[in-house]
Structure 1
């Protein structure tokens, strides 16, 4: 783990294929932190919500970027991935549709996570 302090990093991705560099940056930072031993919570909102569906992250392409599916896998196996309740509902995505390990939660849970002690948050 980085340093001696246990910290949580909450990363909110607000973009998907509509803004690929911003999307890839959010996933890259989340996966890098998770691989370094940081407790990571990745929130997918807006167009990034689509990536909670099986196979969707594999369709994302950005030159010189790590494959999104691999980055998502790192976070899913070492941290938490959450799809925004309203964003999922607007896309007709329900709990039975998402990848194993993904939860659907709303603003109250997000606020609770980012307000916890020793937590940092980033929004992309």
Structure 2
């Protein structure tokens, strides 16, 4: 049975350590050969837009843009439907490779056999 990791990040610049930790864990899991699905919700929703991750900075942490690029290259990145709507973000605004999906898709991913869900 293949293991997978579903990570929901709810924090953005409002809680930089928690935010960066989610992206770091996602990139580390991918580097370890684990399938990763990263969900951007709440204030992390802004990182689905071009340039936003590059603006984020946290001392002694890998650049968020590098971590996001790693997840986009080898995993899946999803922006929460409701979170996007609340911020007037549309599919046309997104970084290439980011999709918009809602709770049914999240639930489907987290209940898949072998999946582990983490929320930051």
Q: TM-score, normalised by structure 2?
A: 0.98
d(CA) in 1 for partners of 2:56, 2:18: 13
Q: Which residue of 1 aligns with 2:19?
A: 23
d(CA) in 2 for partners of 1:88, 1:34: 25
Q: TM-score, normalised by structure 1?
A: 0.95
d(CA) in 2 for partners of 1:112, 1:6: 16
Tell me if 1:44 matches 2:33.
Answer: no
Q: Which residue of 2 aligns with 1:54?
A: 50
Tell me which stretches of 4 or more aligned residues in structure 1 moved more than 3 Å: none
Q: Measure how far apart 1:35 and its partner are.
A: 1.5
Q: Which residue of 2 aligns with 1:108?
A: 104
**Secondary structure in structure 2 of the residue aligned to 1:96:** helix
Tell me if 1:7 matches 2:10.
Answer: no
In structure 2, stretches of 5+ residues that fail to align are none
Aligned length: 120
Q: Measure how far apart 1:15 and its partner are.
A: 0.3
Q: Deviations over 1:18-55 (max 9, x none)?
A: 00000000000001101211100000000000000000
d(CA) in 1 for partners of 2:103, 2:109: 10
Q: Which residue, 95, 98, 105 being the options, matches 2:94?
A: 98
The RMSD of aligned alpha carbons is: 0.7
Q: Measure how far apart 1:84 and its partner are.
A: 0.3
d(CA) in 2 for partners of 1:67, 1:39: 21
